[in-house]
Amino acid sequence: MLSIEKNTKFIKDTAKNLGFDYCGISKAGFLENEAKHLEKWLNNQYQGEMKYMENHFDKRLNPTLLVDDAKSVVSLLFNYFPNQQPINPENLDDYKISKYAYGNDYHEVIKKKLKQFLSIIQENIGEVNGRAFVDSAPVMDKAWAKKSGLGWQGKHTNLINRKIGSFFFIAELIIDLPLIADGKVGDFCGTCTKCIDACPTDAIIAPYQLDASKCISYFTIELKKEIPENTKGSFENWIFGCDICQDVCPWNRFSSPHQTPEFLPSPTLMNISNQDWREITEEVFKVMFKNSPIKRTKLEGIKRNIEYVEKQKKNKN
């Protein structure tokens, strides 16, 4: 067993070698401040139909309930900002999908790296127990990343890093190995309210407060029922997710294209037209989005979203 200092350096060096953009460490323990915010958020019904957010309340706040004798939370950022975009920003009529969904499903790509990471730690440091997480279990990833100095939660509630903006995935290793914790960084949103001003459905109800049940991402991905007719604001052609609040954020001028082949858009996606989207069959959908996050909505979800944005366009005209 190496010293705490050497173990910490080894873990950060390994993270870099595996392609993670940033690695931060925090001491595993109960998230007391976040507990109050989460309870209030749930009581206000801001989770909408996402009932899973109500489950495992204690586990979300205490990593020792996920990993016995957990000592450290290793938080990691993985860039997904694209070099190529299947949507022409100048064509306001194109259907839009969130940038994180251009390539393969990030759960699978990053989980593989995390398992490799844990394996390397065990091979080089010794018997270390832990679990890997990437947006797939009751872990408050933004809270842990913030606690470990990887950024701050912006007014849109996404994590922002001063050097790469906010177009990144967050992942964690919760391990029973004591490490040197990093300190938090400040909030650099200042007086800017661009994300709040740009949100067409008023989902950002106040600085640092998100009513997820009003978010376009919620409506187009999480909501399984019909989109309510009284939904406020235009979806602006988003049919899977939404990047509006991130696209307008000044910190994303520092975003640089990722170097991950698995996250590149397929040639088919690069050339898909609105007509193709409207006419896509079940067979084509299954083949085209076999390894994509888009498969989560299923074809009927995409069709519903297209129908809704088309209806909005018609009503507008």
DSSP string, 268-280: HHHT--HHHHHH-
Distance of CA 107 to the CA centre of its chain: 10
Domain extents for the chain?
A: 4-82+99-175, 194-316
Output the pLDDT for position 82: 94
Catalytic-labelled residue, pool 94, 135, 176, 187 = 135
As a whole number of angstroms, the distance between CA 236 and CA 222 comes to 18
pLDDT digits (tens, 9 = 90+) for 127-152: 999 999 998 778 999 999 999 999 99
Output the pLDDT for position 305: 97
Output the pLDDT for position 93: 85
Strands 96-97, 238-240: pairing is parallel
Show the low-confidence residues of the chain (pLDDT under 50).
none
Helix, strand or coil, per DSSP, at residue 14 = helix
Output the pLDDT for position 2: 67
Which of 235, 237, 257, 305 is closest to 89 using CA atoms? 237
Is 135 among the catalytic positions?
Answer: yes
Q: Residue 232 corresponds to which amino acid?
A: K
Helix, strand or coil, per DSSP, at residue 296 = helix
Check: pTM over 0.85? Answer yes or no. yes
Output the pLDDT for position 25: 98
Which residues are paired to 317 by β-bridges?
none
Output the pLDDT for position 84: 77
Output the pLDDT for position 291: 94
pLDDT digits (tens, 9 = 90+) for 20-75: 999 999 999 999 989 898 989 989 888 988 877 777 788 899 999 999 999 999 99
The residues, ordered by sequence, that sit 6+ positions from 161 with a Cβ below 8 Å of its Cβ are: 22, 77, 150, 151, 168, 251
Output the pLDDT for position 1: 52
